[in-house]
Amino acid sequence: MTRPLRPPMPSSPVAGAVAPRAAAPWRAGAMVWLVLWLVAWAMVATPLRAQTADAAALVADRVFVAAPGRLIAEGNVEVFFGDLRLRAARIEYDPEGDRIAATGPLTLRSGGGDVLVLADMAELDRDLRNGLIRSARVVLGEQMQVASGEVVRSSGRYTEMRRAIASSCEICTESQTPLWEIRARRVIHDEEERQIHFQGAQFRVMGVPLAYLPHLRVPDPTLDRATGVLRPAFSFDNVLGYGVRLPYFIAIADDRDLTVTPFLASGRSRTVELRYRQAFASGTAEFRGAVSRDTVQPDGLRYFGAAEGDFALAGGYRLRFSGIAASDDTYLNDYGFATARRLTSEAVVERVVRDDWRRVEALHFHSLRPGDNNALLPAQVLRADWERRFDVPGIGGRGMLAFGLHAHRRPSDADVLGRDMARASALADWRRDSVLPGGLVAAVGARVAVDHARVGQDTNFPQPVTRVTPAVMAELRWPWVRDGAGAARHVVEPVAQVIWSPRDGDDPPNDTSRMPEFDEGNLFTHDRFAGGDRRERGLRANLGASWTRHDPAGWSSTLTVGRILRQRDPALFSPGSPLSGARSDWLASLRFDGADGLSLTNRTLFGDDLRPSRTDLQLDYAWSAGTLSTSVMHIRADPAEDRADTTSEWRVDAGVAVDENWTARVDWRYDLADNRMARAGLGVEFRNECVAVDLSVSRKFGEGGSVARATNVGLSVGLLGIGGSPATRRSRCAQ
């Protein structure tokens, strides 16, 4: 069974809802008498119809029969027929014309509440599906209102309104003119297709006519997927000039759709964007792309294509894929399709179950950074991994077996030779923990890793390289728990871990472990290298301690301090790495999680001189009116990691609701190393019950002069309450 691509519609209060009331005993008796009378009359007067029509029910304060056989109900009258409900002050039923005349104020509501009619008087058939309604206001999907002097219901499906005014804006006493409205000579609502047809339509903003359309069709508010024009977006930047995007959505079926977006820019750019989505029984897929002809590169067409999907396979496996390619390195950035510095395509088949992990992955990389030579980068990668954990019989503890295959290729040519490599790895690991007297937790373990690599197009490695790296480990932990003042709980845990592995061993070229990390997550591990090209060796001690405080008020904090001591420098890490030398840098990590939405994380690496080599501070705060996220990052230069200069940046992203209608956003990136702004952006959004306006301005200041500075201004205007754009209820009328 396919799954529709429709997003769920948020719920909203029912417009014009009437509070329920308890029926008095004498009213219940009148209803029983009336139902019996209607059944008897129907059996005598129209026996065939009585057998085929749905039963009707009526509740009223007073019910009587007037000559010649006319049924009259007065006072809080309610009529139920099928999925329709009529409420009125008074109704008369004429058996000769089989018609109901109702006087108001009256309401006629469909079963699902999608259509609500409020009027002064109506003449309807006994099914309540056809007839004439005068001085009416029709509410569609609890959002759009259509006011008309005369409403005609026909075929139990169409509601026709003449000389009508439609809007989803509320009309307040201070101003009788809605923010926007559509005036039409004739409006027809098709309940079955959920479409609204306007004939002779005039679109007005604050009472001022802006456009005239002989015919206009829009989906009603209950339909969130319908073929038609979506919200336009306007933009300006110094590369393409002024531009407008006008998306056109095509609902091919419930499980697939296509969006075609023409983009026209004053800088003589013509672009067509495409997006196709489809849902399957086992997953979803999406394909995107664009084709442009512009004056930025006038020699030919510019284009890009992207695809992504997620599918469930047999046996608990999952398939995920994503791919992207572009005609040139600046196309995605020029048109705002992406801001990445690297294009990554991948296909992954993976299964994760208890104690078993399997993964096969194919990747392709393409760098967009100026100065990068893609012929020298390992652009094509193939990986296969399998990991199994188990209880070890006899000696106890937990064991782990892992096997991996890795191969990468550089797309070199005759002028530039790029090194290629393939490696097979196997790893066996065992660990056993025991609790000693006094609360000490001791652990012992052993590990052996075997790597076999073949290297191509590199004269330094003419023969395959095989490396065996055994290791043994001993560890002591001593957790202390103490209840402090105010029922707070403190947990202090010092840890000492000693690992030995032989220093000698042949290494293949290092392509997968060029940027090893050092943090609280890998402080007590055998290896800090991410790939299998390098294995940490020698006698070393991983030392550290952590202090965690749990407060009954709901917040907690954790401080971790640690360092790695080695018998001698293994010369495995670059001189600029915080892991280099016989003694690594100090690691200090702090994490705070508050009960009020505040989160703080800081990780700093520093040497004996207390000068930080790397630091990362992240603060996030969310409250009822907005969110704030800011971070400060500092990384010292390391040519071995292709970082010739020190990197230091301050980032801020924030969004604040100024009031019930206005929301402000701000984001910037400041280069602390070069003392200059890298990026700045400001956005404001106005949203009320019937319109959403979003204005944004962003500025990219370049990257060391290698990327052209760019300014972009975006404007998006959406009318809420029309097909898939839900309106919001206003809490009060404003001046």
Asked whether residue 688 is domain-assigned, the answer is no
9 within some domain? no
Average pLDDT of the chain to the nearest whole number: 86
Q: Is the pLDDT of residue 715 over 80?
A: yes
Look at residue 70 and tell me if it is in a domain: yes
- Domain count of the chain? 2
Residue with tokens 């609280």: 520
Q: Is the pLDDT of residue 459 over 90?
A: no
- Determine which of 3-7, 364-368, 533-537, 644-648 has the lowest per-residue pLDDT on average: 3-7
> Is a pLDDT exceeding 80 seen at residue 111?
no
Q: How many residues does the chain have?
A: 735
The pLDDT value recorded for residue 493 is 96
CATH label of the domain that carries residue 189: 2.60.450.10
Q: pTM for the whole thing?
A: 0.79
pLDDT-based confidence at 136, cuts 50/70/90? Answer: confident
Q: Which of 21-30, 89-98, 108-117, 687-696 has the highest mean pLDDT?
A: 687-696
Q: What is the dihedral of CA 93, 94, 98, 100, to 10 degrees?
A: -40
Q: For 37, which DSSP code?
A: H
Residue 306 has pLDDT above 60, yes or no: yes
Write out the H or E segment, with its range, that includes residue 49. Answer: helix 47-52
d(CA 583, CA 607): 9
CA atoms within 13 A of residue 402's CA, in its CB half-sphere: 19
Residue 626 CB partners (closer than 8 Å, separation 6+): 654, 655, 656, 657, 663
The boundaries of the domain holding residue 526 are: 433-602
Confidence bin at 224 (pLDDT 50/70/90): confident
Boundary of a domain, candidates 560, 576, 602: 602
Alpha-carbon gap, residue 239 to 217, rounded angstroms: 36
The answer to whether residue 358 is domain-embedded is no
pLDDT (tens digit, 9 = 90+) per residue, 658-678?
Answer: 998 999 999 999 999 888 888
Instruction: Give residue-wise pLDDT tens across range 147-200.
Output: 888 889 888 788 899 899 998 888 765 667 888 899 999 999 998 888 899 999
Domain assignment present for 459: yes
User: Which of 576, 602, 628 is the last residue before a domain boundary?
Assistant: 602
Domain endpoint, select from 602, 629, 664: 602
Residue 7 has pLDDT above 70, yes or no: no
pLDDT bin (cut points 50, 70, 90) of residue 43 is very low
385 to each of 349, 426, 444, 521, 546, how far by Cα in Å? 11, 10, 26, 21, 33
Among 3-12, 215-224, 245-254, the range of highest mean pLDDT: 245-254
Query: Does position 233 have pLDDT exceeding 70, yes or no?
Result: yes
Question: Degrees (nearest 5) of the Cα angle 311, 312, 313?
Answer: 115
Strand pairing category for 302-312 and 647-657: unpaired
**Is residue 538 one of the residues assigned to a domain?**
yes
Asked if residue 15 has pLDDT above 60, the reply is no
pLDDT of 55:
64
SS3 438: helix
Rounded CA-CA distance 711/699 in Å is 4
Is the pLDDT at 710 greater than 90? The verdict is no
Of all residues in the chain, what percent carry a pLDDT higher than 90?
51
Res. 561: pLDDT tops 60: yes
Q: What is the pLDDT of residue 416?
A: 64
In whole angstroms, what is the distance from residue 29 CA to residue 79 CA? 16
Peptide bond into 105 cis (omega under 30): yes
pLDDT (tens digit per residue) in 578-634: 999 999 999 999 999 998 899 999 999 999 999 999 999 999 999 999 999 999 999
When pLDDT is cut at 50, 70 and 90, the band that residue 36 belongs to is: very low
Give 57's pLDDT tier (boundaries 50, 70, 90): confident
- Residue 728 binned pLDDT confidence (cut-offs 50, 70, 90): low
pLDDT tier at 47, thresholds 50, 70, 90: very low
| Section 249-271 average pLDDT | 92
Quote the pLDDT of residue 618. 97
Can you give the pLDDT at residue 52?
A: 39
Contact 631, 623 (CB under 8 A): no
Range of weakest confidence among 51-60, 75-84, 575-584, 696-705: 51-60
Higher pLDDT, 247 or 485: 247
In a domain, 166, yes or no: yes
Q: What is the DSSP letter of 576?
A: T
User: At 494, is the pLDDT very low, low, confident or very high (cuts 50, 70, 90)?
Assistant: very high
Task: Evaluate whether residue 476 is within a structural domain.
Answer: yes
End-to-end CA distance of the chain: 51
In this predicted model, which residue has the larger pLDDT, 21 or 436? Answer: 436
pLDDT digits (tens, 9 = 90+) for 628-653: 999 999 999 988 888 888 999 999 99
- What is the pLDDT averaged over residues 483-492? 90
Residue 315 pLDDT exceeds 90: yes
683 and 669 Cβ atoms separated by less than 8 Å? no
Average pLDDT over residues 536-541: 94
pLDDT score, position 54: 56
Answer whether 712's CB lies under 8 Å from 236's CB: yes
